[in-house]
Structure 1
Amino acid sequence: MNEVLWISFAITDLCIALMLYRFFGRIGLFAVIVFNLLICNLQVIKTVELFGLTTTLGNILYAGVFLATDMLSEFYGKREAQKGVLLGFITLVLMTAYMQVALHFSPAADDFAQPHLEAIFGFLPRIAVASMLAYITSQMHDVWAFHFWKEKTNGRMLWLRNNASTLVSQLLDSTIFCLVAFYGIFPTPVLVEILATTVIFKAIVSVMDTPFIYLARRVHAALPENAH
């Protein structure tokens, strides 16, 4: 069931990104970046087995962030893509800070949520630091590489700049995140397996998003702001 659920989840998330873009334009893409980034930083705490390999949950939603960033780059330019990256970064910082403050409130005598919140968000600072370092590095590289390949190909071969920028950026992201977040927590063999499988599964979703960015081009042309 994990494998079926994973594939279904990936397709659904990519479809939702297109739907939000269709109804809200570039604001919808900013929403995809913020929402996916926050949720995947919660899901990444959970490890699952897919195709006999151990990996972290959250790979799907993080790949959706790259799709939204590439769509901003393609349709609105480097500056708007960088704005989306910074918006996601600031939101992650604020969520981490706010939840740490929430944990310092003394719970009521009949409160049941505190231990559960501590279990999730008590571990979050390390996850958040790892995510922030990985996110800002990989996303800024993604925006740069996307436009580098766009210039090299004179605006042709959308599939090439979409995959060439994202695959390398995903490798940077996974390496930085796994080493900072999980070093010393998991045994080295498990850490290596998580890193390898994270790269593999993110790469699969990145390739899966290629037809979606071509569909996004049609959606872009149909938006009222671009109608002729």
Structure 2
Amino acid sequence: MNILLGILELIVCFSGVLVMDKLFGKWGLYTWMALAVVFANIQVSKQVDIGGISTALGNVMFASTYLTTDILNEKYSDKASKNAVKIAAAALIAYIIFAIFTQLFVPNSYDTVDGAMKSIFAMSVRITTASGVMFVLSNWVDVILYQKIKQKTGGKYMWFRNNISTILCNCAENFGFSILAFIGTFPLLYCLEVALAGSVIEMLIAACDTPFLYLAGYLNRKSGILLEKDDDDRQEAVA
């Protein structure tokens, strides 16, 4: 059941990135980054077994942020990708702040969800902080690595730079996050198991996001719309 749900979530999630790109362009992708990182940090509190492997949820939503920055890099510039990471980081900070406020408010006698919300938000403050640090670092490095490979290959082999940058940064993010978020709450061995399982799953996800990256390019070419860069993007491209 979880495997089927994971496949369905992947299709819906990556398709959502393309829809936001198609409808709203760069601003739609910026919006997706903010939404994805918040929802991923809610999901990541839940532990599940997928194909007999124990892992935390949120892998697909986090992976969609790499697809988003890669599309931004291809359509606009690495500066646009970095801006997306900054926006997502700001969304994470806002999420942490309002998660704290949610816990501090005293419920009245009619409330029925305070206990459940405290269980989620109390754990997610630490998880979100760890996730935020690793998210910003891994996505920032991903943007830089993607751009470096793109320059070295003369813009060829998009599948290569997409997979190499995403897989390396995803794996590093998984191990860093699992240690920072769960050590002390779960045994170290379980933390490493979650990190390894998440890395294996995200390698598969990274391979799956490549067709969506090519599809994003195809949809833009088919529409006949010339991709316009902002003035800053044009100057950076010329430089």
Q: TM-score, normalised by structure 1?
A: 0.96
Match for residue 84 of structure 2?
84
Match for residue 147 of structure 2?
147
CA distance in 2, matches of 1:146, 1:22: 22
CA distance in 2, matches of 1:63, 1:102: 28
Q: Does structure 1 retain, via aligned residues, the 8 Å contact 2:138–2:169?
A: yes
Q: Does structure 2 retain, via aligned residues, the 8 Å contact 1:137–1:172?
A: no
Summarize the alignment of residues 14-93 of structure 1 with structure 2, pairs less than 5 Å apart. 14-93=14-93
- SS at 1:54 equivalent: strand
Flag the 1:192–1:152 CA change in 2: closer, same or farther, 3 A.
Answer: same
Summarize the alignment of residues 102-121 of structure 1 with structure 2, pairs less than 5 Å apart. 102-121=102-121
Flag the 1:113–1:225 CA change in 2: closer, same or farther, 3 A.
Answer: farther
Match for residue 233 of structure 2?
none
Match for residue 220 of structure 2?
220
Q: Does structure 2 retain, via aligned residues, the 8 Å contact 1:133–1:176?
A: no
Summarize the alignment of residues 105-184 of structure 1 with structure 2, pairs less than 5 Å apart. 105-184=105-184
AA matched with 1:129: T
- SS at 2:48 equivalent: strand
CA distance in 2, matches of 1:159, 1:34: 25
Q: Does structure 1 retain, via aligned residues, the 8 Å contact 2:75–2:227?
A: no
> How far is 1:219 from its partner?
2.2
CA distance in 2, matches of 1:71, 1:34: 16
Q: CA-to-partner distance for each residue in 1:37-60, whole Å, 9 max, x for gaps?
A: 110101011111111110111101
CA distance in 1, matches of 2:7, 2:111: 38
- SS at 2:127 equivalent: helix
Where structure 2 has 5 or more consecutive residues not aligned to the other structure, the ranges are: 229-239
Match for residue 96 of structure 1?
96
Q: Does structure 2 retain, via aligned residues, the 8 Å contact 1:22–1:223?
A: no
Q: Does structure 2 retain, via aligned residues, the 8 Å contact 1:75–1:220?
A: no
CA distance in 1, matches of 2:102, 2:38: 17
Match for residue 9 of structure 2?
9
Summarize the alignment of residues 178-197 of structure 1 with structure 2, pairs less than 5 Å apart. 178-197=178-197
CA distance in 1, matches of 2:224, 2:130: 37
CA distance in 2, matches of 1:175, 1:138: 11
CA distance in 1, matches of 2:33, 2:97: 19
How many residues were matched structurally? 227
CA distance in 2, matches of 1:120, 1:213: 33
Percent of aligned pairs with the same residue? Answer: 29
CA distance in 2, matches of 1:54, 1:74: 35
> How far is 1:223 from its partner?
6.4
CA distance in 2, matches of 1:83, 1:220: 22
Q: TM-score, normalised by structure 2?
A: 0.92
Say which is worse superposed, 96-105 or 61-70, in terms of deviation: 96-105
AA matched with 1:226: L
CA distance in 2, matches of 1:155, 1:103: 49
AA matched with 1:194: V
RMSD value, Cα: 1.3
